[in-house]
Structure 1
């Protein structure tokens, strides 16, 4: 796929996250060459310019001789490769590399075309740096993780390849690549920026979209299992409140449940006037989630198409201006929003599971088992869902409100975007498991209404589940059922089975 620097859609970034290989739009080359030439002129003139012929951070006042500039750039990579912890997931690392490629290719970073060629070739030939995931505070850029990425480009560190994990020099050689010798400013340009934080945040966003859509499906199925009313989804209610996400969510729920014979049975002889909030307020809660995720998507798409290193080179004026685009506060705020949304999706779903296993609320057999007492049924899966929701609540505390000074107080306010973004995939995994449990419980609840059937979309979902997980009569080893249901949710198979047009989160804002 063609990667157009400054104009890439969220769909392109998602495709790269899913394994697509980007090819840089050649139209960016003249601007890149002009930027590199501007740096060369600054070096030739000998005037002190931060990041080009000076030290870094608190050492910016130290002048570096022209003969030492290559060593300076190599040293910043080696000294800043100070991350700890487990490696980034390969999919997120590849996305980070593509984000860095697109940023540098906008001709404001002073790097040479061959530096872009190296990043592009590594992506094409599946040489993925081993990047420890901990060590960034989200300003001045994601220094440590980006240093580990850059280290592989110069033949230092380790990389994952199709042949396994190996030393960087060996990985490059096997791919037919020679280690890069960094020119003036290039080390700093590669290290400075928000691409680590933004890659994790985008990955969290893409997974959260699957989570949101899956939770709409299981929420509708749980509503049918409880013989709940679809009156709260009436469009007239939601038009009066005017929130776009709420209106679209209500419409999706109506579509999913339309034609259900189980729903029709609610209209005859049911004395309940109102359903619990976990059913009745789905449009309000999930609609707010949708609006929040869309707001985060807009921020992250803008960041992905921006330039966030420092200093920035303006070739037309021959200037390198020092600023603060490396500060990842927008990403931190977006990550916090995604975390809140993911937490609430799981929280609302867990309440529906708790409602279904409680005969006083659902009208179904206790814990959804035909023989309660002898069997525990769904008793402990609901406990597991509660545990996962509680864990997500702890993780949802805003990271952006934290800051700790670094670099001898030169960097005295930082975003913590890396922390905020890095937690998202684990939070989504927790919530996916909760939705998987709801899928099992809701399908089991609907089974008790036989011979009545649900709507066509929801019956297709039940059929997809039952192809892998049988109805629960007597207690059995539950873990495989939960694992299978969670896989169906996280893979998008449940949404696909429903076949309904559900709202999208990452509609491209450009």
Structure 2
């Protein structure tokens, strides 16, 4: 799209509307998240330039079919069946068969936000104008988004080789007026919903089915949303570390810019700077010189014992080196994913300018799987970091004078002593969540296998890696919630008066949703409350440091 072809922001009936441009070139990761997670006024604009490119591609397809030459998946069978050529008159019927025989997905249904992201990414990839599909295919995908018509898509069944064939078939099937969708909270036949809204199902022609299913859009949808949430988690990890540093009477000099400028990885620098801002003004986590000065001088003695350690344990001192790796991983993952969602990822592709058709393998989701395998490891490492900080908070041997398991003081009631166990169960639960995150962090890439009569003899495994990444992000959000709850409990025991202004604001927000644990009680609801604060962005917003470099 040339500059000025369409405004990204406009007014509609007095409301400011952000247009999401559908042209195969301009879609951003933020666009995907905004469409997938409704909340802003959005317009979906399939540009005139892109529509003309789609039409040229489709016209070329029809011209080439008329020559009688074999075209993969158009006038031939699929995969290993490419050796079977069919008459052009059968080409449309072949597309229905393609979709039907792949309707064998299993497992839980993909979340609504993933389905929305899938619809958007698939529409955008086809809008690039190389796939030979009817314009109506893209139009109906966008209509599904406008009306929030959501195909019911099982998560399992794709190896990310010839695209996400199985899950995307559930999308294609509903566009053809078959199968079921969720609409306004009800599960209904797709044909009924389309008829009610005055929308016409796509009558498939040659390549339409293949264009819809032969791509990486389902994997990319999981990947984009997981990466967006991981970027938020990197900043949440800094916040959790700041709270722990105060609760444990830490040394905020570990985050001094001089240290990190001598090893200037962008993510590490950003994390250290964020921690410095969060802890600015704290009377609990002190600058290095104040920590040193709080100890008695030797005064000629040959040995002395420091009252306050001048170095914290690694899970505090090296936190920027862990969260920084996640930030830097996200930086290059973002670039790869933005390329992926603006690419032609099906096969064959039609070169309208030169009048040729090309068979290739852009459906192979190698970049998506590599990105997600890296993201999984970086996020799981953050979970492990926060779990180690929690261990310091609850263990009286390491928490600098706090109670065992952060048990509330029970002075005045001797009967209560020995009955309460504070955060002991929370630490066990956090350990389990962390272990699960670490378990799923293993690379999916290396489990490639040969399928489909050894035609798909090297496959990407991208959807599995992307689903694992989402799961690890969710587990790490729960780990962070438990650590933050424990840090807030510890700070109540320590005294909140000397907290830094930004961390004190976070503590105050948490306390509006979760009370101090003054006696043993169930805390699953507490975890859910703080997870909601994390996911909504409210927890970070309370710090006033939003907009930090990822």
Give the aligned partner of residue 2 of structure 1: 20
1:402 has 2:447 as partner = yes
- The DSSP-based 3-state class of the residue aligned with 2:357 is strand
Q: Label 1:135 to 1:100 Cα distance change in 2 as closer, same or farther (>3 A).
A: same
Q: Which range is displaced more, 143-152 or 41-50?
A: 41-50
1:274 has 2:304 as partner = no
1:341 has 2:378 as partner = yes
Q: Kindly indicate whether structure 1 or structure 2 has the higher relative contact order, using CA contacts under 8 Å at least 6 residues apart.
A: 1
1:138 has 2:138 as partner = no
Distance in structure 1 (CA, Å) of the matches to 2:375 and 2:97: 37
1:326 has 2:363 as partner = yes
Q: Equivalent of 1:416, from 461, 464, 478?
A: 461
Distance in structure 2 (CA, Å) of the matches to 1:104 and 1:479: 44
Q: Which range is displaced more, 4-13 or 110-119?
A: 4-13
What is the TM-score normalised by the length of structure 2? Answer: 0.89
Give the aligned partner of residue 515 of structure 2: 470
Distance in structure 2 (CA, Å) of the matches to 1:391 and 1:163: 32
- The DSSP-based 3-state class of the residue aligned with 1:263 is coil
1:62 has 2:88 as partner = no
Is contact 2:100-2:173 (8 Å) kept? yes
Distance in structure 2 (CA, Å) of the matches to 1:215 and 1:122: 37
Is contact 1:213-1:502 (8 Å) kept? no
Distance in structure 2 (CA, Å) of the matches to 1:21 and 1:430: 33
Distance in structure 2 (CA, Å) of the matches to 1:355 and 1:445: 11
1:307 has 2:367 as partner = no
Is contact 1:140-1:192 (8 Å) kept? yes
Question: Displacement of 1:476 after TM fit?
Answer: 2.0
Question: Displacement of 1:230 after TM fit?
Answer: 0.7
Distance in structure 2 (CA, Å) of the matches to 1:118 and 1:70: 18
Q: Label 1:17 to 1:504 Cα distance change in 2 as closer, same or farther (>3 A).
A: farther
- The DSSP-based 3-state class of the residue aligned with 1:166 is strand
Is contact 1:343-1:389 (8 Å) kept? yes
Distance in structure 2 (CA, Å) of the matches to 1:225 and 1:271: 14
Distance in structure 2 (CA, Å) of the matches to 1:436 and 1:354: 14
- The DSSP-based 3-state class of the residue aligned with 1:178 is coil
Distance in structure 2 (CA, Å) of the matches to 1:2 and 1:232: 43
Q: Please give the per-residue CA displacement for 1:265-322, whole angstroms capped at 9, x wherever unaligned.
A: 8553442121110100011111111111222111111111111100110011111100
Distance in structure 2 (CA, Å) of the matches to 1:250 and 1:416: 35
Distance in structure 2 (CA, Å) of the matches to 1:173 and 1:332: 39
Distance in structure 2 (CA, Å) of the matches to 1:31 and 1:226: 61
Give the aligned partner of residue 508 of structure 1: none
Distance in structure 2 (CA, Å) of the matches to 1:485 and 1:259: 25
Q: Which range is displaced more, 124-133 or 263-272?
A: 263-272
Distance in structure 2 (CA, Å) of the matches to 1:241 and 1:373: 48
Give the aligned partner of residue 120 of structure 1: 142
Distance in structure 2 (CA, Å) of the matches to 1:50 and 1:485: 52
Give the aligned partner of residue 13 of structure 1: 32
- The DSSP-based 3-state class of the residue aligned with 2:262 is helix
Question: Displacement of 1:163 after TM fit?
Answer: 4.9
1:94 has 2:102 as partner = no
Distance in structure 2 (CA, Å) of the matches to 1:163 and 1:485: 27
Unaligned stretches of 5+ residues in structure 1: 506-510
Q: Equivalent of 1:457, from 502, 516, 522?
A: 502
What is the TM-score normalised by the length of structure 1? Answer: 0.96
Distance in structure 1 (CA, Å) of the matches to 2:195 and 2:150: 14
1:33-432 aligned at under 5 Å gives the runs 33-264=55-286, 266=291, 268-269=294-295, 270-363=307-400, 364-369=402-407, 370-371=409-410, 373-432=418-477
Larger radius of gyration: 2
- The DSSP-based 3-state class of the residue aligned with 2:534 is helix
Distance in structure 2 (CA, Å) of the matches to 1:31 and 1:338: 35
Q: Please give the per-residue CA displacement for 1:185-232, whole angstroms capped at 9, x wherever unaligned.
A: 111111100001110111111111222211211111111110100111
- The DSSP-based 3-state class of the residue aligned with 1:317 is coil
Q: Which range is displaced more, 259-268 or 145-154?
A: 259-268
Question: Displacement of 1:502 after TM fit?
Answer: 5.2
Q: Please give the per-residue CA displacement for 1:101-148, whole angstroms capped at 9, x wherever unaligned.
A: 001011100012112111111111111111111000001110011111
Question: Displacement of 1:60 after TM fit?
Answer: 0.7
Question: What stretches of structure 1 move > 6 A for 4+ residues in a row?
Answer: none
Question: Displacement of 1:388 after TM fit?
Answer: 0.3
Give the aligned partner of residue 498 of structure 1: 543
Q: Please give the per-residue CA displacement for 1:442-499, whole angstroms capped at 9, x wherever unaligned.
A: 1111112326321111010001001111122222222222221222122221101111
The CA RMSD measured in Å over matched residues stands at: 1.5
Distance in structure 2 (CA, Å) of the matches to 1:225 and 1:278: 14
How many residues get paired? Answer: 505
Is contact 2:115-2:153 (8 Å) kept? yes
Distance in structure 1 (CA, Å) of the matches to 2:280 and 2:323: 19
- The DSSP-based 3-state class of the residue aligned with 1:60 is helix
1:22 has 2:44 as partner = yes
Give the aligned partner of residue 16 of structure 2: none
Is contact 1:197-1:418 (8 Å) kept? yes
Is contact 1:356-1:445 (8 Å) kept? yes
- The DSSP-based 3-state class of the residue aligned with 1:503 is coil
